[in-house]
Structure 1
Amino acid sequence: MSVSGLKAELKFLESIFDPNHERFRIIDWKPDELSCQFNVTGEKLLIIHCNITESYPSTPPIWFVDSDDPSLAEVLERLEDVRKGSTLLLQQLKRLICDLCRLYNLPQHPDVEMLDQPLPAGPITQERKHGPSDEVTSEEEEEEEMGEQDIDLDQDLDHYDMKEEEPVDGKKSEDDGIEKENLAILEKIRKNQRQDHLNVSGAVSGSVQASDRLMKELREIYRSQSYKTGIYSVELVNDSLYEWHVKLRTVDPDSPLHSDLQVLKEKEGVDYILLNFSYKDNFPFDPPFVRVVSPVLSGGYVLGGGALCMELLTKQGWSSAYSIESVIMQINATLVKGKARVQFGANKNQYNLARAQQSYKSLVQIHEKNGWYTPPKEDG
């Protein structure tokens, strides 16, 4: 989807849910981020954030809320069920507002129905966006004009179709859209889990909660276009649902990292970055532990042993509503943004689990004390 198409979607949202809306408010937005408030009562406001990846709408937005309430985590998890449509962000937002109203026993707000309308063909007017009595600065007018020009120039690119035909009975099998070889993997995992529970020794690996969620994550990955088009691949280590090898096969073609991977392919026959994801029994309430296995990288927020310096992967920055595919795509973007480079000739043994865990532990301690640095907007 073009940037202007996404901007049109965001501006349409803002025109409905402005900062003075009685129930839901768009406080701030950028093409990769959305900040909102849900007014529970006059005194209680929920702060909700949304990260929009570069591959939107192929990769759904990532939602999180400033609260440890498990009921809110469940509300955000249900947004993962809304994965298709020409205005995915609008439909997820509709689901979010409706579910929050039900959670807090509030009446459904009529403005929610406006999210089912098609996007306006023309630009959002100043009167509609700001209200007839609001003053609009010349700088805002200039930004609006530039945005409107972008929309006009790219209007033909903004029409994308993510819809799939539904079965006649209107219900969709959970296995629809998954290749046969991947269905075989899922079935093998199910059999292994059944065998574990029948095992007399009682040595059951993982937890029911974590296993169910990981099966759901794996199924969604097998169904996703990013996986099918080879942006990344996933393999279970020793058939364990709790340890994955993820290969990042495609990075930004304009990045130095992309060029390095081409050279790596010529030298060693390897054209991917290998990541290891490991999960605990309390997943998804704790993040996966992620480390780079190979090749050795410099930059890209990669620490000693291969650990990753990302708030997203710490308890402080993690949300149980995050999908693993979104995490994979975010790591991909972070490596490029951090100007990661392959260190040809480096000692490959310097990346190992013990060193990565130690680096991660130190990282968490430092940031718990000092907080996380937020780069300027011009830095992305």
Structure 2
Amino acid sequence: MENRLRNEYRNVNKMKDALAKEGITILPTTSDSLSAWTISILTKDKDSPYSGQTHTISVKIPRDYPLSPPECNFTTPMFHPNVKFTSGEICLNILTKDDWSPAISLISLAQSIAGLCSAPNTDSPLNCDASNLVKNGDVRAVRCICQYYYKGEYTKIK
């Protein structure tokens, strides 16, 4: 596990600039251990209800990594069909034991989570309210609620 995580750390550092262009930052949570990471995702898509928002994900690496997936949770409030609001749990198939592959890197994991932020899967929701609003195309309601939770206050949408 340690060799794999050191390689992941090197790859993340090599790809730092390219990832930043995608709005992704990946860092170990502490300087003395690679068993916990923080992923930050800045949504740059102007059409997204999360546009301009940076969301943080806590990544805990299990002892049997890369044979088992890391545990990932949003630590910033996220109103999203595939995120459980109370815990930040993420519904993403590659985070399950059945669909995880040791070939998945922290970089590809971060890119997959960023992709989920841009394109929610309303067929597999953890937040049914968010899923129903997205399915029904109520863009204004989704934007307002996303901003409310992210900023902690209601912001009028133009």
Q: 1:223 aligns with which of 14, 21, 37?
A: 14
Letter in 2 for 1:307: E
Separation in 1 of the partners of 2:20 and 2:114?
16
Aligned counterpart in structure 2 of residue 245 of structure 1, from 38, 41, 47: 38
Uncovered stretches (5+) of structure 2, i.e. residues with no partner: 121-133, 135-141, 153-158
1:302 to 74, 78, 83: 83
Q: Note the alpha carbon deviations across 1:244-297, whole angstroms, 9 max, x for none.
A: 1111124423212115x2xxxxxxxxxx11110110111000001000000x12
| Corresponding residue of 1:280 | 62
Shift of 1:228: 4.7
Paired residues in the alignment total 127
Task: Sort the Cα spacing of 1:300 and 1:333 in 2 relative to 1 into closer, same or farther, 3 A.
Answer: farther
Task: Note the 1:18-97 alignment, pairs <5 A.
Answer: none
**In structure 2, what is the Cα distance between the partners aligned to 1:250 and 1:219?**
25
Residues 5, 34 of structure 2: 8 Å contact kept = yes
Larger strand share, 1 or 2: 2
TM-score by length of 1: 0.31
TM-score using structure 2 length: 0.70
Contact kept in structure 1, 2:39 and 2:58, CA below 8 Å: yes
**RMSD of Structure 2 on Structure 1 (CA):** 2.4
Is the aligned partner of 1:332 residue 2:136?
Answer: no
**Cα offset for 1:334?**
0.5
The separation in 2 between residues aligned to 1:306 and 1:223, in whole angstroms, is: 29
Contact 2:56–2:75 under 8 Å retained in 1: yes
Q: Where does structure 1 differ by over 3 angstroms across 4 or more consecutive aligned residues? A: none
Which of 199, 220, 232 pairs up with 2:24? 232
Which structure has the greater CA radius of gyration? 1
Percent identity over the alignment is 23
1:101-250 to 2 correspondences below 5 Å: 210-224=1-15, 225-229=17-21, 231-239=23-31, 240-250=33-43
| CA-to-aligned-CA distance 1:33-85 (integer Å, 9 cap, x gap) | xxxxxxxxxxxxxxxxxxxxxxxxxxxxxxxxxxxxxxxxxxxxxxxxxxxxx
Post-superposition CA distance 1:313-369 (Å, at most 9, x none)? 0101100011111110110011121267625258x8xxxxxxxxxxxxxxxxxxxxx
Distance 2:49 2:71 in 1: 26
C-alpha separation between the residues in 1 aligned to 2:114 and 2:57? 11
For 1:247, the aligned partner's letter is S
- More relative contact order in 1 or in 2 (CA 8 Å, sep 6+)? 2
